Structure 1
Amino acid sequence: MAPLSSSETWEFIDSVQLLKSVLEKLHGLLSNPPSLFVDLEGINLSRSGSISLFSLHVAPVSKTYLIDVFGLGHKAFTTEDATGTSLKSILETEDITKVFFDIRNDADALFSLQGIRVRGITDLQVMEFATRDSQPSRFVSGLAKCIKDDCPMPQYEKQKWLRTKDRVGALFSPERGGSYQVFNERPLQKIIAEYSAEDAALLPRLWKAYSAMLTSNTAFWQMMIRKETLKRIEQSQSQKLYCTYQVHGIWALGQARGTEGYEVLGQRSTLGLSLSTE
């Protein structure tokens, strides 16, 4: 098969040389508003699974870099540019804001598989929960629901995204006869690349939408979101964590208990988030 060709909006990064060129473009970016938005794809994405793709969307240039973790291995995170900057150093610094949607499984996988302790993280799933009315649901929302309900985009664009999501779902969902191994196939199927790039590229729109909803008492909500995100990261890196992971970051433990907040070894969440998505 022919190598995967990139597009104007995304680029597949499968060599150390290409990765260095990406790292060189990340200097001097703003953190307020955030410039870097991240989404990971993998097989059983957690400490017991593997990372296939690291999708890095750079908002100021509207471009997503699909970094081939499956092919590059540890070099995906340890490769440095001329200034000593690496993905690992970017992920571990407080000085650069990185936006994820549901950091839990990503933080677990990055820490357990790559030795990376993420810092400077904003979790969009926590932001969405904070925007709800005074009597919110116990459950957090998944990315697909947030995009469908909250992402400001033309209807035709949303329909295109839904069609792509459905087609890719048939490729990777075991329930539909697919396999998550499609993320490790090389050359990567173009539709998989487009799906991964689009998910990351939509995160800035969600960030803007939720930020606009939290303009009242902004400092308070920033503190609460930061505190909840830190707790998620700490719990995901705990050696005693006993939650059962699923590919899309759903921590199922606690759903049957009917708890109003998720609980890991007796620790309750600040915002009362449930382990499960709705």
Structure 2
Amino acid sequence: MPQPAPHPPSPPVLLNYVYCDRPDSFANAVHFLRSAPYLILDCEGKDLGRSGGSVTLICVGTPFAEYIFLFDVLSPYITRNDVQGLLDLFQNKGLLKVVWDGRMDFLEIWSTYGVALRGVLDLQIAEVMSRYQVRGEEDDGRLLRLQQSLRIPPSKMWHDRYDYLHAVVGLQRCWKECGYAEDCGKDPEIMHMHKALGSSMWAFRPLTEQLLQYAARDILLIGVLYPHFIRSGWIPMDPPNFSSLLTQCQRYVSAHVEQGKSTETDIFKPSCIIPLDVLTEPSGPKYLCFACNRALSETAFETKKDLNSAAYKSVTKGFMRSTRCRLCFALACKKNAKVDQAWVST
């Protein structure tokens, strides 16, 4: 098992960044970023990925967060043409973009600009894959993580029902678990504001220095964790396995396009559980989940024998599948919602 990295020296109180809110600063920053070997990407905004939400600040860093650019797309001086150079970098599959849980970033950029992020390495997926590929975590560990994330009593954690489901961890928790000092992570005051007041603060101008520092800090955390993951063997560097990881990451960040933006009260909105058909390549026919509106492979649904079918004794016939995918059923259980689980013949 990889050993945690030693605590890094405390960073300076204030991070250096370039705030871009004019056409010339946008153009100069994009010109500089074109020569970077890879980019670190994170977005801030009001209710990202939710109905009525919007991205207001696009944060981009160079390797190790040596340079950090904060692009204010809400600036009255900025037009779509000014943002286009940045969007060209985002859809360039040959330029790696390192993110942490890029699902809402993808959804907002897609819904706002009609541009799909390509060439994405999501460290949240890399962390999950490393659990059993590198760290030797077995299925009991997966189920324990699920039980803690979903807050479902262990007595209700039936193995078959929760097959293919994996819980993720947040950026701050991963930072701490990797051995880095907690006080070097996210600003706890801003995290508390997010929890208590929501994210509308990102839509007001001018942004406070504390908010800008918070945005820049996320780039720094991702910039430090990426080489840490490589040193720990959590990211495979051989071309076939690295390419496979990128494919998983692309499925992850784009998983909610079919589902679209959700409301805050939607119990089936994106969650702390990886969407189905992300870690494994979906195969065979796809079926629509009546809850999340995603077209998914048959393994994403719970199945059972149809005892009323004349073919129920057959090995391959006489089965039924649920109309809600495994994940949506789990999310309904988490919210103690009444689950009207219908079944249809396969």
2:256 to 227, 236, 240: 236
1:190-201 counterparts in 2 under 5 A?
190-201=209-220
Q: Does 1:9 align with 2:25?
A: no
Question: 2 CA distance for matches of 1:21 and 1:197?
Answer: 19
- TM-score normalized with structure 2 length: 0.61
Contact 1:99 1:121 in 2 (8 A): yes
Contact 2:169 2:272 in 1 (8 A): no
Q: Does 1:58 align with 2:62?
A: yes
Question: 2 CA distance for matches of 1:128 and 1:245?
Answer: 28
CA deviation string 1:61-118 (max 9, x = no partner): 712111112225873x6327xxxx7011000111211111112111111111111111
Classify the secondary structure of the residue corresponding to 2:131: coil
Question: 1 CA distance for matches of 2:22 and 2:200?
Answer: 21
Question: 2 CA distance for matches of 1:70 and 1:186?
Answer: 9
- TM-score normalized with structure 1 length: 0.74
- Report the alpha carbon displacement of residue 168 of structure 1 after superposing the two structures with TM: 0.8
Question: Quick one: which amino acid aligns to residue 211 of structure 1?
Answer: I
- Report the alpha carbon displacement of residue 18 of structure 1 after superposing the two structures with TM: 0.9
Q: Does 1:115 align with 2:114?
A: yes
RMSD of aligned residue pairs (Cα, Å): 3.5
Give the direction of change, closer, same or farther, for the CA distance of 1:216–1:202 in structure 2 (3 Å limit): closer
Residue identity over aligned pairs, in percent, reads 18
Report which structure shows greater RCO (CA 8 Å, sep ≥6).
Answer: 1
Unaligned runs of 5+ in 1: 1-6
2:190 maps to 168
1:25 maps to 32
2:271 to 248, 252, 263: 252
Could you list the structure 1 runs, at least 4 aligned residues long, displaced by more than 4 angstroms after superposition: 242-246
Contact 1:39 1:54 in 2 (8 A): yes
Give the direction of change, closer, same or farther, for the CA distance of 1:50–1:159 in structure 2 (3 Å limit): same
Contact 1:56 1:66 in 2 (8 A): yes
Question: 2 CA distance for matches of 1:99 and 1:120?
Answer: 9
Give the direction of change, closer, same or farther, for the CA distance of 1:215–1:202 in structure 2 (3 Å limit): closer
1:38 maps to 41
Question: 1 CA distance for matches of 2:235 and 2:260?
Answer: 37
- Report the alpha carbon displacement of residue 169 of structure 1 after superposing the two structures with TM: 2.1
2:183 to 159, 163, 166: 159
Classify the secondary structure of the residue corresponding to 2:60: strand
Give the direction of change, closer, same or farther, for the CA distance of 1:64–1:245 in structure 2 (3 Å limit): farther
Give the direction of change, closer, same or farther, for the CA distance of 1:147–1:73 in structure 2 (3 Å limit): farther
Give the direction of change, closer, same or farther, for the CA distance of 1:61–1:131 in structure 2 (3 Å limit): closer
2:337 maps to none
Question: Quick one: which amino acid aligns to residue 132 of structure 1?
Answer: R
